[in-house]
Amino acid sequence: MNRILIVDDDQIMRKALRVMVGKIDGFIVCAEAMNGKQALEAYEKYKPDIIFMDLVMPTMTGVEAAEIIRKKDSDTIIYFISAYNNFELAKQAVKLKVNEYLVKPVSMKLLSDVLMNQRVEQESKIGYYLELLEEIVEQKDFKNAYHKLPGIIKEIYEKYGQNNEQLVSNFRYLGQRLLVSAQKMDGQAKEIDELFAISELHIGEPMLGEMWMFKVINHVFLKNSIRRYPVLANVFSYIDNNIHEEIGLSQIIDNCAISQGYLSRIFKDQFNVSVMEYLHMRKIHLAKGYFYLTNDSVAEVAFKLGYNESSYFSKVFKKYENMTIQQYKKSVIASN
Q: What is the CATH number of the domain that holds 68?
A: 3.40.50.2300
Q: How many independent structural domains does the chain possess?
A: 3
Residues 263 and 202 in one domain: no
Q: How confident is the model at residue 302 (pLDDT cuts 50, 70, 90)?
A: very high
Positions of E strands within the chain = 2-7, 27-33, 50-54, 77-82, 100-103
Question: Measured between alpha carbons, how far is residue 186 from residues 192, 220, 223, 228, 230 in Å?
Answer: 16, 12, 9, 11, 12
pTM of the model: 0.67
Between CA 98 and CA 76 the distance in angstroms is: 9
pLDDT digit string (tens) for 75-107?
Answer: 788 999 987 766 566 666 666 677 777 888 899
d(CA 260, CA 286): 26
pLDDT above 70 as % of the chain: 90
Q: Please indicate, yes or no, whether residues 14 and 98 belong to a single structural domain of this protein.
A: yes
Q: Are 131 and 210 in a shared domain?
A: yes
Q: Determine the pLDDT at residue 206.
A: 87
Residue 116 lies in a domain: no
What pLDDT score was predicted for residue 202?
A: 67
Helix axes 108-138, 142-160, angle to 10 degrees: 130
pLDDT class for 284, splitting at 50, 70, 90? very high
Single out the residue in 225, 243, 272 at which a domain terminates.
225
The pLDDT value recorded for residue 168 is 82
Instruction: Please check whether residues 302 and 336 belong to one and the same domain.
Output: yes
Q: What is the CATH number of the domain that holds 317?
A: 1.10.10.60
- Tell me the three-class secondary structure of 278-307, residue by residue: HHHHHHHHHHHHHHHHCCCCHHHHHHHCCC
Please indicate, yes or no, whether residues 26 and 52 belong to a single structural domain of this protein. yes
Domain around 268: 229-336
- CA-based nearest residue to 132, from 192, 178, 185, 199: 178
In a domain, 252, yes or no: yes
Are 280 and 323 part of one and the same domain? yes
